[in-house]
Amino acid sequence: MPGGLLFLIAVVFVHLDVLAESLPAIVHVYSYVVLGTGILIGWRFNRSRLIFPILVLALADSSLFHLASGSEMSMGLGRIVYNAAAILLPLNLAVFSLIRERGIVTIRGLWRMSLILLQASIVVHICRYHYFDICNYLEYSIIDTGLFSRISMSQPALFAFGAGFIIIVIRFIMRRDAIESGFFWALMSAFFALNNGWVEYHSTMYFATASLILIVSVIETSHSMAFQDKLTGLPMRRALDEALLKLEDCYTVSMLDIDYFKKLNDRYGHDVGDQVLHMVASKLSRVSGGGKTFRYGGEEFTIIFPGKFMDEVIPRLEQLRKEIELSNFVVRIRSRSRAKSQNSKAIKSPQKKVSTTISIGVAERNARHTSPHQVVKAADKALYRAKKAGRNRVSA
């Protein structure tokens, strides 16, 4: 929960008056550093879902600080800017949490930037020509109750934040990744920035923290993409290389391969092959004996057992091999026929039971194989012997 932790730190700094005297000066430097870092990282990774939200947050912070700070928030021009920001900001964050990455300097990227500028220009137009009557609409009480009397924001703004939270939470439940979590905590930080009842450096602290949360979520997602396989959910080769460097004197490595996987792909298609990979990986990830499973590449996997000798590991691998052999994986088979009747209803994809087996090679660190690279190579040779001997077996 890096986003939640960053938000909590911001709350502590603001409400416990940590560094109270120097905080205003620090906050402005902090906001500029975060904005610059976010733009650089977003540009480098071509992340429009990072650059556009932090630009919206920076625009809201700058507008509020210059036009609605202090007592100006409660009257005239400042009140319009405050209410407009409180309504538009959560809606923008919710929309950016839904859109796909389409680049920055692209037609869609420029279109999204133009929508941000359009919102800003409308607010500027309202303020320039003193349409103060519009403030009545921005503060319209939808529900006549004293429930919201202690909250600084208007009811339309509260409903906008409520809609934003609902959209982002549903999105997170469906996808469960770092960026969706980052949008939730960024929206929470923006809510605290606007609900203080007083726009000053406290608000800037929260807005900058919201941007920092989004930056960290992008870095976390990039790290996950580099180290974790999206299909199987297992750590990948790079994570294996790091894990091997941490091994001490006693360990065992096993290399595993799905038997006749190419034939399975040719017969049923790559979609079924992916399903089988996912289901085999889920069983491998639950291996006992303290083993940790990695996707080595293709249909090949690696399990390392720190602090275990080969004699301790082989019975566990035999149990794993038998479990996979006896399993009938239920997969969805897509129909290759494209002919459809005009009045035909949607037909569910047919299901089929597919059985598969694995071959396993095992090696341990000893006087002959002293480095992780040598042990992995020895386990790979043992895997080759298992396949040559007829597959569906464990070889040491």
Pairing of strands 358-364, 394-395: parallel
What is the distance between the alpha carbons of residues 369 and 376, in angstroms, rounded to a whole number? 9
Which string of b and e fits 231-247 if b means at least 16 CB within 10 Å? ebebbbeebbeebbeeb
- Confidence label for 6 from pLDDT (cuts 50, 70 and 90): very high
Output the pLDDT for position 257: 93
- Confidence label for 93 from pLDDT (cuts 50, 70 and 90): very high
Q: Kindly state the average pLDDT of the residues 43-66.
A: 89
Q: Could you tell me which of 299, 179, 286 has the C-alpha nearest to residue 231?
A: 299
What is the distance between the alpha carbons of residues 383 and 386, in angstroms, rounded to a whole number? 5
Output the pLDDT for position 189: 95
Output the pLDDT for position 331: 72
The answer, yes or no, to whether residue 202 has pLDDT greater than 90, is no
Q: Kindly state the average pLDDT of the residues 209-236.
A: 89
Output the pLDDT for position 342: 46
Q: Kindly state the average pLDDT of the residues 100-118.
A: 86
Q: Kindly state the average pLDDT of the residues 306-310.
A: 92
What is the distance between the alpha carbons of residues 49 and 134, in angstroms, rounded to a whole number? 31
Q: What is the pLDDT of residues 177-189, one digit of tens each?
A: 888 899 999 999 9
Output the pLDDT for position 25: 78
The answer, yes or no, to whether residue 106 has pLDDT greater than 90, is no
* Ordered strands of the 394-395 beta sheet: 292-297, 300-306, 251-258, 358-364, 394-395
- Confidence label for 63 from pLDDT (cuts 50, 70 and 90): confident
- Confidence label for 349 from pLDDT (cuts 50, 70 and 90): low
The answer, yes or no, to whether residue 272 has pLDDT greater than 80, is yes
What is the distance between the alpha carbons of residues 104 and 171, in angstroms, rounded to a whole number? 22
Output the pLDDT for position 333: 65
Output the pLDDT for position 304: 95
Backbone φ and ψ of 161, nearest 5°: -65, -40
Lookup: tokens for 206: 């929260």
Lookup: tokens for 165: 């939270």
* Helix (H/G/I), strand (E/B), else coil: 197: coil
Residue, of 147 and 81, whose pLDDT is higher: 81
Could you give the C-alpha distances from 344 to 106, 339, 340, 341, in angstroms and in order? 40, 10, 7, 5
CATH 3.30.70.270: which residues of the chain?
A: 237-335+349-395
Residue, of 301 and 351, whose pLDDT is higher: 301
The answer, yes or no, to whether residue 94 has pLDDT greater than 90, is yes
**Global pTM?**
0.73
Q: What is the pLDDT of residues 120-156, one digit of tens each?
A: 888 888 777 666 666 667 777 777 666 666 667 888 8
Lookup: tokens for 158: 């509260």
- Confidence label for 269 from pLDDT (cuts 50, 70 and 90): confident
Highest average pLDDT, of 27-31, 136-140, 163-167, 193-197, comes from: 163-167
Question: Spelled out in words, what is the top-level CATH class assigned to the domain 237-335+349-395?
Answer: alpha beta
